Amino acid sequence: MKRKGFTLIELVVVVAILGVIIAIAVPQVLKNINKARKSADIQNARHIAYAFYLFEEDSGKSLNVLIPDNNFHKIDSDVVSLSPQYSFKLSDYISGSVPKPVYRRSYYFYYKLDSVLKVYSGDGTNFYELFPNVDPGY
């Protein structure tokens, strides 16, 4: 009598091989997903900074006049209020909706003017610079 099918040993070997493959692949996939999210945040920060520079050019005013202090300013709406007289819409310079960080989803983008414009990802307490330099801790 001929039997068709797999033996228990063959099934255990196949399951073990699949387990090893999954154990190797899943961490790499998760690492690549996080790397892509960080890269998207850095690109969004760059686009935000370029929007500021374009508005600076359009308004004819320097960023030192447009942003009178060096505090952190949260970007949580399409309209960015700079100083009492100046504001602009991000959607005039960036396609899509207001960018929000995807790596740390509870964070927002912030901008700050020291000697140069800097864009950060943060939660109001912790800030990570994304433009012009990327904080290595991000």
Is residue 80 within 8 Å of residue 41, measured between CB atoms?
no
Q: What are the domain boundaries of the chain?
A: 9-131
| Cβ neighbours of 57 (radius 10 Å) | 9
Name the band, by pLDDT with cuts 50, 70 and 90, for residue 24.
very high
Q: Give the contacts of 59 (CB within 8 A, at least 6 positions apart).
A: 66, 86, 88
Task: Determine contact, residues 122/110, Cβ cutoff 8 Å.
Answer: yes
Residue 6 pLDDT class (50, 70, 90 cuts): confident
Give the integer Cα–Cα distance in Å for 48 and 117.
Answer: 10
pLDDT digits (tens, 9 = 90+) for 115-124: 999 999 999 9
Q: Where are the beta strands (DSSP E) in 57-137?
A: 73-75, 79-83, 86-89, 108-113, 117-122, 127-131
What's the pLDDT at 1?
Answer: 61
Across the chain, mean pLDDT equals 95
Average pLDDT over residues 39-68: 96
User: Torsions phi, psi of 95, nearest 5?
Assistant: -80, 150
Q: What does the pLDDT average to over 66-70?
A: 92
Rounded CA-CA distance 130/119 in Å is 6
Residues with Cβ within 8 Å of 34's Cβ and at least 6 positions away in sequence, in order, are: 103
